[in-house]
Structure 1
């Protein structure tokens, strides 16, 4: 490895160019800082290249295929509907290329320098970037670590030919006939349900009592029913004992209700969480502390125990969400610029792009009670909404949670089409300190799905027009 003697001086170094990293870099540049971004892979990080974006392309294709295949009652009689996986792969490539080019253009437009390679600290204010045979040292005033995460492996079972990570599953060049998904969290459910809709025989194994832990059980049950309609099998309380391969197949042995079972498939997708990419950064040389699981503890300005080094995104405690990382990136950049900006995690929306879509923000009714609130609840069904019925989407629900004393909105859960978009109104309501009455008095266009937010607020106040009280 050839390392030059010169050390490059830079004001702000950002490690990682995913949603958190490139957002932090751009915001710091907007605030007048000289910024360098280090990325070992492609601009946009995991989310854009092998995560959020390609998975949503697959999910959207699966939804359209299913819609055409089951649209008779809407008067659309499509015969011999087929799916061309190679065309989908081309579209995936084009979308990713468009977005990565866009990120690159933005960084260039804000005069952010981009360096490709692996970063490692060699001091509290210095790091080295290695790219093949070459390395360069950089001395910085401030650093934002946005190194992201990677799929977690099962103990003793590394990813390989037949054992896929979510990244591997999104890189397949053809549809598998049979797929076993280990893990019923949001990644496993999104991918498993999409493959099932496209004709793959999917079996999901979840160790817990229900899929999608953390979401309302009623919402998770709606997803389970739709997965079974797509001929997917779900085993909860399933503990995988071993995975073997033979004759080009993968065999999974697991315990279920005290009985050992065996399933054979073409691949097994292991989706049991993610782990932070902090183990190769040389944090010790910088004096940055990480906990036993590799996560870096930070304060409300995303500052580590080393005052000029910040950490954001998947490498800090909390949900591994791209929008959380981008939010933290802005906070860190503004803190470096001397602004009094702090994180506020009251209203980070969580979304699962399943069928139906699930979205939640803030407190559930149970969490509100545990937090000392006298909770008020307003519900409304998709089945009572005109727009939902025109979309042939009567199965769904909206639940608003508030403080009975003040009427303030505390949280919401939505299951149904466009839940991922509808949750934004309630997220803003919590952020602005809005009340049930504020939402109820806001005129919502008709006929729209958004009316259900207003109707749920009215029901919580006992004023609902389309519900009996």
Structure 2
């Protein structure tokens, strides 16, 4: 049995929250160790957020090339070279990994590559990647375990060896016909990218609309976009079974009686996430899980075990890197004598289809579900002059105003560069700025944020909800 090494700060997982906590604590002179099983810096710089946006941008470049004549540009070839696409992405990922390694060295935090399993309170055994075992105990322990792609229990699905986003983002070839199971953020972003590279794409989802957590008008707008770009969409399609092998030939059987069949060459499963909390001895550490397998935390992100905190997706936080970074802020403040909580924090969302979907605060459907009465401001993106300069007029923006005050309740944009005006409105909401005050802002012309000038000049509709 290895002897126990004692550290002040023990972080399991080097994702967004974990790495910033480690760098900050080590920089303050605390002996800090981070255990990471494979991805230095977590999933975001390696296999998720940044690689996917890198690939999506390459797809947009090809999409622009196919429209070159529209912009007065002559282009002889718009063929996709997936090896070149991957080379660009991998160069970015390699650079990001080096940045992380440099940051670890500069901070003094020790990065330990291996798999951790709890053997008692705040104590883990680490099976090192290079061989051997270390036992480490932390005065304070922070769990940043992340999630992985869920695999539905569908007959034949596992045997077909489908891709998750990880494999698709590392593909050196272009699928002939990609079938995407799942109409959420990941599935939609990657479906459009593969279509723009030149693949035939079919999206299969069991829900009544794409992006089911969004308002119906948003789902309808994305559906129209996909159909305009030649993506086949099947809604209300429950997957009954899968036959064949992804990468060769695959058949997806759908319908209440299994009467519909989609045939393709490759299969991507994008149906949600599962927390990485099983099989690592959390019960031996006194850490309780929720019924869905996430780590149970309070509003300060403290677990049921003394001096143990959980951050990021494993703690049930929204599955976005910016939410994980805010978890770091909350936990660091609490262990430093503050009292930050997750209550009432205003998190924004962005889906990087083209055009983007960005929103903050309440949607209309959420407001109705909660019984919140609201007034509505809405406007087509074509009214924003910036879209005319880009030849990207598709979409709309809408703002929810409280029925009995001028408070901004929520904002949704589906349009080019949607994240730009969304950030403006988020800032106004954080500052509790009534919408007439935001109307006085003199926005630069021509920007997407200037669209707020024209949106806010309208008269809100009568109260709804």
Whole-Å separation in 1 of the counterparts to 2:10 and 2:424: 35
Give the superposition deviation at 1:162.
4.3
Distance 1:103 1:345, change over 3 A: farther
Deviation per CA, 1:119-148, whole angstroms, max 9, x where unpaired? 111111211111143111111111110010
- Range moving further from structure 2, 186-195 or 355-364: 355-364
Where does residue 376 of structure 2 map in the other structure? 377
Distance 1:419 1:124, change over 3 A: same
Where does residue 142 of structure 1 map in the other structure? 140
Q: Is 2:268 aligned against 1:269?
A: yes
Give the superposition deviation at 1:302.
0.6
Give the superposition deviation at 1:184.
0.6
Give the superposition deviation at 1:388.
1.0
Q: Is 2:33 aligned against 1:52?
A: no
Whole-Å separation in 1 of the counterparts to 2:344 and 2:312: 13
Deviation per CA, 1:211-259, whole angstroms, max 9, x where unpaired? 1111122222222222222221000000111111169311111116x66
Whole-Å separation in 2 of the counterparts to 1:16 and 1:460: 50
Partner-residue secondary structure (3-state), 2:243: strand
Question: What does 1:300-315 correspond to in 2, within 5 Å?
Answer: 300-315=299-314
Question: What does 1:35-434 correspond to in 2, within 5 Å?
Answer: 35-132=32-129, 133-155=131-153, 159=158, 162-245=161-244, 248-255=248-255, 260-371=259-370, 373-434=372-433
Give the superposition deviation at 1:367.
2.9
Deviation per CA, 1:383-412, whole angstroms, max 9, x where unpaired? 111111111011121111122433122211
Deviation per CA, 1:173-222, whole angstroms, max 9, x where unpaired? 21111111111111111111110111111111000001111112222222
- Range moving further from structure 2, 220-229 or 172-181: 220-229
- Range moving further from structure 2, 28-37 or 41-50: 28-37
Contact 1:444–1:451 under 8 Å retained in 2: yes
Contact 2:116–2:125 under 8 Å retained in 1: yes
Distance 1:53 1:161, change over 3 A: farther
Give the superposition deviation at 1:369.
4.9
Whole-Å separation in 2 of the counterparts to 1:30 and 1:299: 27
Deviation per CA, 1:100-127, whole angstroms, max 9, x where unpaired? 2112222322221111111111111211
Whole-Å separation in 2 of the counterparts to 1:149 and 1:407: 39
Contact 1:377–1:401 under 8 Å retained in 2: yes
Give the superposition deviation at 1:371.
4.2
Distance 1:203 1:117, change over 3 A: same
Whole-Å separation in 1 of the counterparts to 2:445 and 2:365: 32
Give the superposition deviation at 1:366.
4.1
Give the superposition deviation at 1:333.
2.0
Whole-Å separation in 2 of the counterparts to 1:147 and 1:189: 25
Whole-Å separation in 2 of the counterparts to 1:371 and 1:248: 47
Whole-Å separation in 2 of the counterparts to 1:162 and 1:200: 20
Deviation per CA, 1:285-331, whole angstroms, max 9, x where unpaired? 00100022211121111101113111111112242111111110221
Deviation per CA, 1:341-363, whole angstroms, max 9, x where unpaired? 22245421111111221011111
Whole-Å separation in 2 of the counterparts to 1:204 and 1:372: 33
Whole-Å separation in 1 of the counterparts to 2:453 and 2:132: 59
How many residues get paired?
458
Normalising by the residue count of structure 1, what TM-score does the alignment of the two structures yield?
0.93
Where does residue 447 of structure 2 map in the other structure? 448
Distance 1:149 1:20, change over 3 A: same
Contact 1:14–1:38 under 8 Å retained in 2: yes
Whole-Å separation in 2 of the counterparts to 1:53 and 1:282: 31
Whole-Å separation in 1 of the counterparts to 2:98 and 2:255: 47
Contact 1:358–1:414 under 8 Å retained in 2: yes
Contact 1:27–1:334 under 8 Å retained in 2: no
What's the C-alpha RMSD, in Å, of the aligned pairs?
Answer: 2.0
Give the superposition deviation at 1:38.
1.0
Contact 1:28–1:337 under 8 Å retained in 2: no
Contact 1:123–1:286 under 8 Å retained in 2: yes
Whole-Å separation in 2 of the counterparts to 1:140 and 1:231: 54
